[in-house]
Amino acid sequence: MLMTGPQGDQRVALDSIDLFDPHRYRTHPQHLDWATLRAQAPVWRQERPGQPAFWSVTRYDAVKAMIKDVDRFSSEHGNVLDVADGGDSAGGQTMPLMDPPGHGWLRGPSIRTMSTLVVRRREEDIRARIRRMLAPCYDGGVVDIADIMLHLPMLAVGEILGIPESAWPDIPAWTMSGVAPEDPVYTAGTTERTLRKAHYQLFAMFSEVIADRRRNPRDDLISVLVGLDFGGRGLEDREVLLNCYSMVMGANTTTPYVASHLLLAMAERPDAWRMVRDDPSLAPSCVEEALRWATPTNHLMRKTTQEVEIDGVRIGEGEIVCAWLASANRDEDVFTDPYEFRPDRKPNPHLAFSIGPHYCIGGPAARAVLNVMVEELAADFEEFEPAGEVQHLASNFINGLTRLPVRPRLRRGARVGAAARH
């Protein structure tokens, strides 16, 4: 998605706004639409011929309140617009698509497996893997950062989740085909065929691992799910499989795009990169700003369980409502100069990881791997020179890049050769 914001009080006609069409997110500045909605219609209903209408909530405070309210806004129908019509077949069976109490039974044990402490214990291994991943950047030529960063999440959570390392190279294509089946890079023909192929590949891999963990439990999330007490019973294989699928999708369709959008922002704003390069202590705040800036998950969908009122607008029971995180993270009432990338921005109360009961359990791992990546790049690279056309993902859900060619310029005295790769 283009990150272009409005010029001053620039607005668009409300009847020109379409937040559903995934192809608009490849070429259209959606932030201009969201700015218009925040100013003129912060709770807005989009009609779709032959399909259910949906409500959009775009202001920070309303988005935050809605996401935290799991009693009146249910996740069990699904959390992405693409399933608004018939609902998600995994509804009520995976953590993101569960309401209390089932959500809590899954979340507690899972979040302990993905805790900050668990990730920190692996930091040196993660750093070594990131250095190997970044090796092409040291060759002096043009590299596709978007392609490189697709492999970032598995370096941090592959072992924690329990995914065999032999499958790590294939995970990006499998997961992205699942969330962006209409994108030219990932489509296998029709949307249905693309989804079927992606699901088959992931499900086949996880089925083998689940069977193994039932026989030989290990110190990983799949083993935790296999042995979980879910309200007095264990999880069936299908339930374990669906939760594994959900977690790998959550990891691999978000973190890479925070990294890619960060590098795109730095390529376009060399002064901002210079700040980070000259002051490595800014790495954590730079990561937080990258999370706000990219907001890799554009929206979270909910279904009302009763009549509600949001910003003075009444919405009936059983209605589809979308909380637009990407809009909330550009709210002018919360963020000063929201269309500027500030590596030292503080405070930065972004909602990139959601908030409340559905706060992203992979947040600690994402922060850790992104922080290490920024530290490694700041140590060795003077700048990142734009080197070709940038291509954006066709998805209303994930704010991704499918192509980001840059020429990394090494700093004088930077590590080269084997020193940078090991």
Please count the structural domains in the chain: 1
Q: What's the rounded Cα separation, in Å, for the pair 182 and 393? A: 9
| Per-residue pLDDT tens over the stretch 347-405 | 999 999 999 999 999 999 999 999 999 999 999 999 999 999 999 999 999 999 999 99
Q: Does pLDDT of 418 surpass 50? A: no
Percent above pLDDT 70 for the chain: 98
Cα–chain center distance at 370: 13
- Calculate the average pLDDT of the chain: 94
Q: What's the rounded Cα separation, in Å, for the pair 407 and 404? A: 10
Q: What's the rounded Cα separation, in Å, for the pair 255 and 267? A: 19
Give a yes or no: residue 170 inside a domain: yes
Place of tokens 């950047």: 137
Give a yes or no: residue 7 inside a domain: no
Give a yes or no: residue 46 inside a domain: no
Q: Residue 338 — very low, low, confident or very high, per pLDDT cuts 50/70/90?
A: very high
The alpha-helical segments, DSSP class H, found in 20-161 are 24-27, 30-40, 60-68, 102-113, 116-121, 123-133, 145-149, 152-161
41: left (phi over 0), alpha (psi -120 to 50) or beta: beta
Give a yes or no: residue 65 inside a domain: no
Place of tokens 């890799």: 296
Burial class of residue 162, CB neighbours in 10 A (0-12, 13-18, 19+): buried
Domain ranges, residue 93: 22-40+70-421
Q: Global pTM?
A: 0.95
Q: What is the pLDDT of residue 172?
A: 92
Q: What's the rounded Cα separation, in Å, for the pair 197 and 319? A: 32
Give a yes or no: residue 280 inside a domain: yes
Give a yes or no: residue 9 inside a domain: no
Q: CB-based contacts of 107: which residues, under 8 Å, 6+ apart?
A: 95, 357, 361
Give a yes or no: residue 58 inside a domain: no
Q: What is the CATH number of the domain that holds 257?
A: 1.10.630.10
Exposure of 195 in the CB half-sphere (CA atoms within 13 A): 9
Give a yes or no: residue 64 inside a domain: no
